[in-house]
Structure 1
Amino acid sequence: MTNNASDNASGNASDNASDIANDRLIIRISPAWTRPYLRLARLDRPIGTWLLLFPCWWSMLLATSAPGYQIGSPFAPLYFIGLFAIGALVMRGAGCTINDMADREYDKKVARTATRPLASGELSMKQATVFLGIQLAIGLAVVSQFNTYTIILASSAILLVICYPFMKRITYWPQAWLGLTFNWGALVGWAAIRGDLSLPPLLIYVGGIAWTLGYDTIYAHQDKEDDALVGVKSTALKLGEKTKHWLVFFYGTCSLCFAAAGWLMGLQWPFWFGIAGLIFHFFWQITTVRIDDPNDCLSKFKSNRNIGWIFLAGIYLAATVK
């Protein structure tokens, strides 16, 4: 299970039910012995990496976008962009590894997840632990490139990552914990540039949590029937047919927080075109999502990568006219 339980409650996996796609390019071109590790880290499904990465990039660019602010080296933004990309890739993989280690017994019971490397026995817990250690070591190497304040701040997120797999067993709001975890980069991105925290990155963080509540509730609707059978909880089960009303609240809160962060920073007019773009995209999601259609839910969930690019473009273009 990644964020939810399953697409099929059967104990035996089928090719159609499994969430593993062996035709992905990275799987096809990789040596056979590496493929279980690639699937364990979800490197064949990059959407999670994007959703983890964007808050880092947003906040980093926001920190450099205030009128009159000068960063030391002209190459520093590119360097940080690269570091955050590597960090998001390995830490998302580490999070998925921890999740599958914790959920392996649940995953065996459902068709969509029964073929995952740990649930199927393709990898052992010892192999997964070593692989997790390698990913965390790479993440630590990335974090060590930042200032001391950022190192401490970024490292503290591991507690959120470790706790997340257990939230869906005890609360109907695991998506809120996922929001706390996935948007931590909004704080780290700012701290990496400025060495402190202030209200704008906190607003990005709160807005990001609301964003995650929206997109992951949509995602959870794929699995609501099987979640109930397996015994795990989600906002899809909690909100049910009221989901669209809550999406208005989640995405509205996100838009207001993001707009307030840009206003506090004094960003120029391109930023507000970005805000308008993401509001339009949110409106499209809310009005067209079919919560009883798993394929449409997955499509709407993945479309949130566009939100990331729209907001990023607004911040970047605003910085070019400051």
Structure 2
Amino acid sequence: MIEKLVPKVTIKLEAPLWTEEDRKKAAEKRIESLKPYLIKLPAHWIPYAELSRFNTPASWFIFFPCAWGTLAAGYHTKAPIPLVAGVLAIFLITAYIFHGAGCTINDIFDKEFDKQIPRSMERPVASGRISIANAEKYLIAQLVVYLAILSLLNWYTVWVAAISIPFVILYPLFKRITYYPQMWLAICCSWGALLGFVALDNWNYSAMAALFLSSCNWTVIYDTIYAHQDKTYDAKIGVKSTALKWGKNTKRNCYFFAVAQIACWVYLGITQSMGPGFWVSSMTFGYQLLNLLNKLDLDNIESCGNAFETNVWCGKLFSLGILVDYILRIMDII
């Protein structure tokens, strides 16, 4: 089965990395994360909702590049509003499904790792609430539904989306063989920037590359921050990440990626004649990101968690900016 694709994990520790108090807090936090909606689901559905991370905002990071690509393509072609709205709706649904599939794969491979870390020990596969066999069946269902919904768009979109699936499946392997799994994850999370253009049959390679690379740089930043939450545990159980590789140099390196991200936007804005919404939102995003890095305490789990969630707000802001430009273009104002 799929679990056999990744080498078996053997963890030898002199003592557990968590206490019973940690377990109790993890369980309480899990229950709290289900409120107010997921807790109302049938009991046997809840573990699968958790496996898909429906109780976190992380699926937005899959949707944002899709939205950016779609709105930028719509801006340049003056695509009809119903068409763009329909594509965005499909991408919003499939972003949750695709992200859920990625989490399912990750949790299957990382079951033994997750058991050792308080923040992840309550995940459905690690805690035994979902078996490996059922998780694999759920994964197949997720991928089938994902591609089926995308088939409502053109078939180029389906094929381009299908190309990204091997990247997602292999992602957990990179946490075992390299300290740069964030680079691989960046490809997985940023693929939607390409899909947005393809869905509207706008093969603007320059714009596609700029948005894809900007999203890749951003992904490395926010996932490195995320990885700092578990760096103490990861170092002991053998999980590799840029958080461990960069250590005290993390902020310096993240500043580099932030500047590269902003440079991609400047290139996009100039070459594609983007409007005021793009410029205001991208520069606000850039300022917020640099300010966030300046204030970030990488040794404080709460600070890292808050910074990670702040990036969700930044992604929404940038999406809104391109949306404003698209509407202004449709109205022939710009």
TM-score, L = length of structure 1: 0.92
- Superposed, which structure 2 residues align to 1:178-189 within 5 Å? 178-189=185-196
Maintained 8 Å contact 2:26/2:121: no
Specify the alignment match of 1:9 in structure 2: 17
Instruction: Report Cα offsets for 1:192-238 as digits up to 9, x if no partner.
Output: 11253511111111111100111111111111111100101111111
Specify the alignment match of 2:7 in structure 1: none
1:314, 1:62 → 2: CA distance?
A: 10
1:111, 1:160 → 2: CA distance?
A: 28
What is the one-letter code of the residue matched to 2:39? R
2:230, 2:118 → 1: CA distance?
A: 12
1:162, 1:111 → 2: CA distance?
A: 25
- Superposed, which structure 2 residues align to 1:120-135 within 5 Å? 120-135=127-142
Could you tell me which runs of 5 or more consecutive residues in structure 1 were left unpaired when the two chains were aligned.
Answer: 1-7
Specify the alignment match of 2:65 in structure 1: 55
| Match for residue 28 of structure 1 among 21, 31, 39 | 39
| Match for residue 283 of structure 1 among 262, 285, 290 | 290
2:202, 2:271 → 1: CA distance?
A: 18
Q: Which has the higher contact order (CA 8 A, sep 6+)?
A: 1
1:11 Cα offset (Å): 7.5
Task: Report the RMSD for the aligned CA atoms in angstroms.
Answer: 1.7
1:109, 1:241 → 2: CA distance?
A: 24
C-alpha change, 1:163 and 1:20, in structure 2 (3 Å) is farther
Maintained 8 Å contact 2:193/2:208: yes
What is the one-letter code of the residue matched to 2:209? L
| Match for residue 155 of structure 1 among 162, 179, 183 | 162
1:109 Cα offset (Å): 2.7
Deviates more, 1:272-281 or 1:112-121: 112-121
Specify the alignment match of 1:3 in structure 2: none
C-alpha change, 1:154 and 1:20, in structure 2 (3 Å) is farther
2:134, 2:29 → 1: CA distance?
A: 19
What is the one-letter code of the residue matched to 1:41? S
1:27 Cα offset (Å): 2.9
Structure 1 residue 264 corresponds to structure 2 residue 271: yes
C-alpha change, 1:284 and 1:146, in structure 2 (3 Å) is same
1:135 Cα offset (Å): 1.2
Maintained 8 Å contact 2:268/2:274: no
1:265, 1:256 → 2: CA distance?
A: 14
Instruction: Report Cα offsets for 1:13-40 as digits up to 9, x if no partner.
Output: 5122459521222331111111111111
Specify the alignment match of 2:118 in structure 1: 111
TM-score, L = length of structure 2: 0.89
State the secondary structure of the residue aligned to 2:24: coil
What is the one-letter code of the residue matched to 2:146? G
Q: Identity over aligned residues, as a percent? A: 34
State the secondary structure of the residue aligned to 2:81: coil
C-alpha change, 1:197 and 1:152, in structure 2 (3 Å) is farther
Structure 1 residue 93 corresponds to structure 2 residue 100: yes
1:193, 1:240 → 2: CA distance?
A: 42
Specify the alignment match of 1:292 in structure 2: 299
Maintained 8 Å contact 1:219/1:298: yes
What is the one-letter code of the residue matched to 2:114? D
1:164, 1:20 → 2: CA distance?
A: 27
Instruction: Report Cα offsets for 1:113-142 as digits up to 9, x if no partner.
Output: 222211222111121122112211210112
What is the one-letter code of the residue matched to 1:126? A
> Which consecutive segments of 4 or more residues in structure 1 shift more than 3 A?
17-20
> How many equivalent residue pairs?
311
